[in-house]
Amino acid sequence: MENLISLKEIVKVYEMGEESLYALHGVSLDIKKNEYVGIMGPSGSGKSTLMNIIGCLDTPTSGEYFLNNKNVSEMFDDELAEIRNKEIGFVFQTFNLLPRSDALHNVELPLIYSGLTKRERIRKAEEALTNVGLADRMKHKPNELSGGQRQRVALARALVNDPSIILADEPTGNLDTKTGEEIMALFEELSNKGNTIIVVTHEEDIAKHTKRIVKMRDGLVCEDRIK
Amino acid sequence: MNFLLELKENIIISYKAIIANKMRSVLATLGIVIGITAVTLMQTAIEGINRAFESSIASIGTDVLYIQKFEWFGREDFEVYRNRKDITLQHFNFLKRFAQTSASMCPTQGTLKTLQFQNLTLEDVFIIGTTDEYQTTFGTNIDDGRFFTTRESEGGYPVCVIGMDVKNAFFENVNPIGKYIKVGTHTFKVIGVVEKQGSLLGLFSLDNRIIIPIQRFVKLFGTRRSISINVKAADINNIEETKEEITSIMRKARKLKPGMRNDFGINQQEAFQQTYDQLTFLIKAIGLIITSLSLIVGSVGIANIMFVSVKERTKEIGIRKAIGARRKTILFQFLIESSLICLLGGLIGLAIAFPISLVIDAFVLPTVMPLWIVILGIFISVMFGLLAGFFPAYSGAKMDPVESLRYE
């Protein structure tokens, strides 16, 4: 099967004044469609940097990144924005919803940027919210929702544009264990439906849900294990 | 399509942001409010002055040429004009005999005198000496009675046509026709009243005057002054032709040799209009510069508050970028916010200026806020909003998504 994500010798250097800080030392990694991958590692291991690069929020200093056979590492800001909009669905630890907008509008937002009509947007956003079990919470603002519900809204937003990858950064970090398990169950369901999911975490409990674990240390992949 | 969608979305976001910071938005826009109030009131006042001017200048007549010793708005030294020979009734008679492109013409001469009727007196009334053709030359309308006839004019009869101010002062509840008034020490019979003329530039009244036959005027008040010969062109479209004819006849009358410069002026309303236009253009331009200073100060305030707004919403910018917002989407979001704030300021400014313009209209000078200034005011405030918002919006648009997502 063809690679959905192909990272070749990715190096990321941060210039901190005089010093150069190597966040990634040359990471190569291939991820196929419908994989469910956990990226693990202690803080400072470069897993967040790697996630930002996979998510097209950041570009590598050197190395090549192919997403769906497109060389993303050479793209400019606005092209990357389009890739993020169409190909990637983010789920963040702190949910990152717009506080002044209700659940429906939050989920609708990516569709606005991809230029869908109002009717189409509402239909898709409602469907996505229903799929995560929030059919009765669409008109609620984030501060009127519980943590678990907020993460479901974020998940609905990530899914609404049918992305190639769902990229989750510590998705249960701000949730209690029970709610966290519920969210992980949702991820499992999505994986079974054929979605490609990458979860970045430092919790073994969370990583055990995934089907492949990539461990990072000092800016390098130190272990890559398929269960 | 895509652009319109984003525009609509941006307007909603901006509206929400402004509502969420009501007080801050209103305070930020105060400078724009004051600026727009000043700009519109200034232009409204100028509009009023223009209207006053237009109505006064109408009394001069567009098709009338004034042959005088002086030139209106002449560029030469005063001495040059003063040393010219006076223009006399002989010149008038000469002109009258030869001019063919004029509809009518009359000489005028004026002086200030005190009027008396029974025990009432009126000081500094303008006495005009002229002929019966005055009426056709200037198109003067008679409110009551009649103008004097050719016979009365040539014979120098002691008759007068009075202005509205004189009528109001002397004959409030009395029919003035047939009454006798004293001009200085001389008695005149009132035979008519001129329709109300208004005032010239709102400065002095055109109704505080009486008109008498010039023959009488010369006899009583002397001939030492230079007169004005007023010629109404036969056809306003050929007024230049009339001007040329008058010039050549006058040069003969004044015995000027070829090559000698004219020693008289042919004045026209146009000269007035041109000078006035130059003057008001200057006033408008200076007024606009001064009033836009407050707009500039206002937009600095807007720029400041927009920087705060962008900084505050760094995280939001990060989220939007993460889910696919382009640079220009973010740029427009903040540009729209700043122009909406300024538009709000502009509308408040207009809402303040409009009642003030009504007060000016009622108590100071008749005017009305022109529609174009309302449209211009709205346009200017939006422009200043875009201008003030550009740098803050640009700084938001080029934020790095990773860093802005990390911002708390």
pLDDT tens-place string over residues B98-150: 988 888 999 999 999 999 998 899 999 999 999 999 999 988 889 999 999 99
State how far Cα A214 lies from the chain centre: 15
Using CA atoms, how far apart are residues B109 and B223, in angstroms rounded to an integer?
9
pLDDT per residue as tens digits for the range B237-288: 888 889 899 999 999 888 888 888 888 988 887 777 777 888 888 888 888 8
Instruction: Kindly state whether A86 is in contact with chain B, defined as any CB-CB distance less than 8 angstroms.
Output: yes
The 8-class DSSP code of residue B313 comes to: T
Partner-chain contact A90 B323, CB within 8 Å: yes
State what percent of residues in chain B have pLDDT above 90: 44
Of A100, A109, A117, the CB nearest to B323: A109
Question: Which residue from A minimizes the CA distance to B402?
Answer: A57
pLDDT of residue A1: 62
Question: What confidence category does residue A167 fall into, taking pLDDT thresholds of 50, 70 and 90?
Answer: very high
- Tokens representing A146 are 């519980």
Shortest alpha-carbon distance between residue A168 and chain B (Å):
13
**Of the candidates B386, B375, B231, B389, which has an alpha carbon nearest to the alpha carbon of residue B310?**
B389
Using CA atoms, how far apart are residues B221 and B241, in angstroms rounded to an integer?
35
Instruction: Kindly state whether A95 is in contact with chain B, defined as any CB-CB distance less than 8 angstroms.
Output: no
Partner-chain contact B324 A86, CB within 8 Å: yes
Question: What confidence category does residue B59 fall into, taking pLDDT thresholds of 50, 70 and 90?
Answer: low
Helices (H), B75-149: 78-82, 89-98, 134-138
Partner-chain contact B6 A112, CB within 8 Å: yes
3-state SS of B147-207?
CCCHHHHHHCCCEEEECHHHHHHHCCCCCCCCCEEEECCEEEEEEEEECCCCEECCCEECC
What is the end-to-end Cα distance of chain A in Å, rounded?
18
**Mean pLDDT across chain B:** 88
Of A86, A96, A117, the CB nearest to B319: A96
Chain B residues contacting A via beta carbons under 8 Å: 1-2, 5-6, 9, 16-17, 20, 315-316, 318-329, 400-402, 405
Question: Which residue from A minimizes the CA distance to B318?
Answer: A96
- Among A56, A91, A92, A98, which would you mutate to test the B interface (most chain B Cβ atoms within 10 Å of its Cβ)? A98
Long-range contacts of B17-22 (CB under 8 A, 24+ apart): B17/A100, B17/B309, B17/B313, B17/B337, B18/B337, B18/B340, B18/B341, B18/B344, B20/A100, B21/B309
Residue A91 φ/ψ, nearest 5 degrees: -125, 120
pLDDT of residue B200: 67
- Tokens representing A107 are 């989920």
**Residue B350: Cβ within 10 Å count:** 21
- Among A96, A118, A122, A157, which would you mutate to test the B interface (most chain B Cβ atoms within 10 Å of its Cβ)? A96
Partner-chain contact A115 B322, CB within 8 Å: no
Q: For B4, how many CA atoms within 13 A lie in the half-sphere containing its CB? A: 4
B235 or B117: which leads in pLDDT: B117
Cα A204 to Cα A216, B12, B268, distances in angstroms = 14, 43, 99
For B378, counting Cβ atoms within 10 Å of its Cβ (0-12 exposed, 13-18 middle, 19+ buried), the class is middle
**Of the candidates B282, B289, B294, which has an alpha carbon nearest to the alpha carbon of residue B46?**
B282
pLDDT of residue B234: 86
Partner-chain contact B326 A57, CB within 8 Å: no
Residue B12 φ/ψ, nearest 5 degrees: -65, -45
Question: Which residues of chain B does A57 touch, with a Cβ-Cβ cutoff of 8 Å?
Answer: 321-322, 401-402, 405
The 8-class DSSP code of residue A74 comes to: G
The answer for A 49-78 residues in CB contact with B (under 8 A) is 52, 55, 57-58, 77-78
Residue type (1 letter), A60: P
User: Is it the case that residue A11 has pLDDT exceeding 80?
Assistant: yes
- Verdict on whether the full-model pTM lies above 0.80: no
Give helix A147-159 / helix A118-131 axis angle, nearest 10°: 130
**SS3 state at B86:** coil
Give helix B327-363 / helix A77-87 axis angle, nearest 10°: 100
Residue B249 φ/ψ, nearest 5 degrees: -65, -40
Of B20, B320, B405, the CB nearest to A100: B20
pLDDT per residue as tens digits for the range B287-324: 888 888 888 888 898 999 999 999 999 999 999 999 99
Partner-chain contact B324 A96, CB within 8 Å: no
**Of the candidates B84, B78, B138, which has an alpha carbon nearest to the alpha carbon of residue B108?**
B138
Using CA atoms, how far apart are residues B116 and A166, in angstroms rounded to an integer?
103
3-state SS of B25-74?
HHHHCHHHHHHHHHHHHHHHHHHHHHHHHHHHHCCCCCCEEEEECCCCCC
- Among B314, B316, B323, which would you mutate to test the A interface (most chain A Cβ atoms within 10 Å of its Cβ)? B323
Using CA atoms, how far apart are residues B66 and B232, in angstroms rounded to an integer?
9
